[in-house]
Chains A and B, each alone.
Chain A
Amino acid sequence: MSTSTGTDRSTTSNEPSTMLDPLVPRAPAQGAQEPSRLHVDAATIGYDKRIVSERLSVAIPDQSFTVIVGPNACGKSTLLRGLSRLLKPSEGHVILDGADISSYKTKEVARRVGLLPQTAIAPDGITVADLVARGRYPYQGMLRQWTKTDEEAVLRAMEAAAVTDLSGQLVDELSGGQRQRVWVAMALAQHTDILLLDEPTTFLDITHQVELMELFTDLNHVGHTLVAVLHDLNHAARFGTHLIAMKDGAVVAEGAPSEIVTAELVEEVFGLRCLVVPDPVAGTPHVVPLGRDRDRP
């Protein structure tokens, strides 16, 4: 897996053992008791007049790879927009490092929380390195646009996302999987501890999906707190360390995937009858839809 990193993070090292054991009882501990730099406190979030989530409270555990799952229009992307300050709650607060996120300067938030949105556009004729370098914006000023620190950060981000070899190529000419890794590199160049990812694997084939999820796992292991909205429950359960299941704008369950992913939960959240079996490789919960009776032999 990932190369040994000098920093020792004992807080995360015990998580895989609980994840691997499907017999661990549902832990009473809720997110609120774990340390959390980013959390939502009784916030009402929505667009114009349409409220999506009312009095929502949820915490992102530090150093976790949190995955938000739920059916379409359940408010998971809206929650991510709230966490990244793209949407301001009409009531309640989003708290970042102990203060309301809206009280920070825009660039200060950008130095602490990064976001990989679904809607990102690569300008025509931009090269990979140029795009990754755009991630340095929160640190730049009128006359300080390319310091040695900027250059070093861009090099490291490209190495971490394995796009160094693509450095001088045009983004337009890359494959979907490569392009998504370039966007991840841009977010890494932003050098934030917390990274939010809005459906990062959508439109990728399965190989590139897994590759990207493994990249996220590596980033998580070197200390990034990741929050991803995902559609694939099995990927969420296999790669995530903390799961938030949402329905109708509210959190239905949260916790380690091995603790909360059950057939009852999937049926409650998605309305899908299924069987939950241990993933034959990782041992994490694996959701198998039962489907219609007449389709089964």
Chain B
Amino acid sequence: MTTRGVSTSTRSSRATRSPEVRRVDFGRRVVVVRRGWVAMRFEWRSVIVCTAVAVAVVVMSVLALTTGSYQISVSQVVSALTGGETGLVHDIVVEWRLPRIAAALVFGSALGVSGAIFQSMLRNPLADPGIIGFSQGSYTGALIVILVVNGSYLQLVGGAVLGGMATAVLVYVLAYRRGVQGFRLIIVGIGVSAMLGSLNTWLMLKASLEQAMAAAAWGAGSLNGVSWDQVAIGGTVIGALLLPAGILSGPMRQMELGDDAAASLGVRVAATRLALVVVGVALTATVTAASGPIAFISLVAPQIARRLARTAGITLVPAAFVGALLCLTADYIAQHIAPTPLPVGIVTVVLGGGYLGWLLFTEARRRL
């Protein structure tokens, strides 16, 4: 049999090469990098998807830098970024629009990673820090700081992180019965979330009008008036959390095989799960503290990323890229396309709500 012309097929190339360079057929193109101490394998499609999303992020960023009530040309933006502009153009680009874009990217990727962690860990696309109550808990913590303590911005951040963590512990304990099973944790989380929602409403009702308005504006999830200081603080914390998230991504992928399989393959299951919960909650809480709850990005981003990259299970890096793009786009829509400028959280609720409805529909159908 002659197979002339099909030189790209692995089978024919295997025959021509020496036997020791046999390659595993993964059914999809992979990129293998082996140099010195580094030996990595990437899926070609994931690389392409991440690159494409990164390009889209750059395009959206340029769009967001140029458009607004004061139109700025691309060349002006470039010169402002390189320090060639002073005055109003410099202020608009560097002090107003750029920190907002940076915040959208940093927070969006944090939410994408946080959602990916919970969805992978609980093996359920509904497992989202927003749905299982952690965002509500962060909001409760922040509300208590705003309304009861009347605290500073840093205290607000602390309150939101503590509130999120406390909620995570509560949900975990309530869902615990000889280990934590994903679906039970989600149901318990939804219940706790509803209870915290009413607690939040009660807190608002007890507050003065001025405080309640501040809390409500924050609670919608907005990047309005984000300053470089906030971006720097949030970015530092998130950067510090993404590092352990990256380290945990290996054992996290193994745990998708089930606890027993992961343990017998050398994963310290209990310790890894605890670390994942802490990192995931901290990521969401940090974003919530800085901007208020921006709903649904953590729910949607990992799933969109998975469908685009067609990866096995949930992967963190594509989820981070998609999360960043989603948050930036949603904020652009909130500012420029909506009839009146809206908090970004409203836009994500509208977009994500539709997705959630579809997801609940298909999940329910799959389980029945």
Contacts and interface: CB of A to CB of B under 8 A. Distances in A.
A134 B265 contact: yes
Contacts of A119: 258-261
Given A127-B27, A140-B250, A144-B39, A117 B264 contact: yes
A49 B114 CA distance: 35
A150 B39 contact: yes
Contacts of B313: 123-126
A137 B25 contact: no
A114 B261 contact: no
Interface string A124-159: 111111110111011010111111101110110010
Given A115-B260, A123-B312, A168-B27, A144 B247 contact: no
Interface in A157-203: 158, 167-170, 190, 196
Interface in B36-50: 37-41
Contacts of B178: 47-48
B250 A110 contact: no
A204 interface: no
Contacts of B23: 151
Contacts of A150: 39
A121 B258 contact: yes
Interface string B111-155: 000000000000100000000000000000000000000000000
A133 to B, nearest CB: 7
Given A106-B268, A135-B265, A169-B27, A120 B257 contact: yes
Contacts of B265: 110, 134-135, 137-138, 190
Contacts of B26: 127, 129-130, 133, 167-168
A107 interface: yes
Contact of A125 (B24, B34, B37, B310): B310
Contact of B24 (A145, A167, A190): A167
B348 to A, nearest CB: 25
B278 interface: no
A169 B265 CA distance: 23
A129 B24 contact: yes
B263 interface: yes
A265 B306 CA distance: 54
A84 interface: yes
A290 interface: no
B67 interface: no
Interface in B258-275: 258-261, 263-268
Contacts of A142: 247, 250
* Interface range on chain B (Cβ under 8 Å from partner): 35 or more
Contacts, number: 131
Nearest to A84: B264
A121 to B, nearest CB: 5
A122 interface: yes
Given A86-B263, A137-B267, A125 B123 contact: no
A225 to B, nearest CB: 15
Nearest to A148: B34
Most chain B Cβ neighbours within 10 Å, of A131, A143, A150? A143
A115 B257 CA distance: 12
Interface in B177-235: 178
Nearest to A110: B266
B41 A121 contact: no
Nearest to B313: A123
Interface in A53-87: 81, 84-86
Nearest to A183: B261
A170 B27 contact: yes
Pick the most buried of A85, A106, A114, A168: most chain B CB atoms within 10 A of its CB.
A106
B15 to A, nearest CB: 15
B263 A145 contact: no
B311 interface: yes
B256 A121 contact: yes
A243 interface: no
Nearest to A128: B27
A269 interface: no
B177 to A, nearest CB: 11
A166 B261 CA distance: 22
Nearest to A133: B24
A184 B26 CA distance: 17
Given A111-B266, A120-B257, A135-B265, 19 more contacts: A47-B178, A114-B264, A115-B264, A117-B258, A121-B256, A125-B311, A129-B26, A133-B24, A133-B41, A134-B257, A137-B250, A137-B267, A144-B38, A145-B39, A145-B40, A148-B34, A169-B27, A170-B27, A196-B264
24 contacts: A81-B260, A86-B263, A108-B266, A109-B266, A111-B266, A115-B260, A117-B264, A121-B123, A123-B253, A125-B310, A125-B312, A126-B312, A129-B25, A129-B26, A133-B26, A134-B253, A135-B265, A138-B265, A144-B38, A145-B39, A146-B40, A148-B39, A168-B25, A170-B27
In the A-B complex, the 3 residue pairs with the closest CB atoms: A168-B27, A110-B266, A126-B312
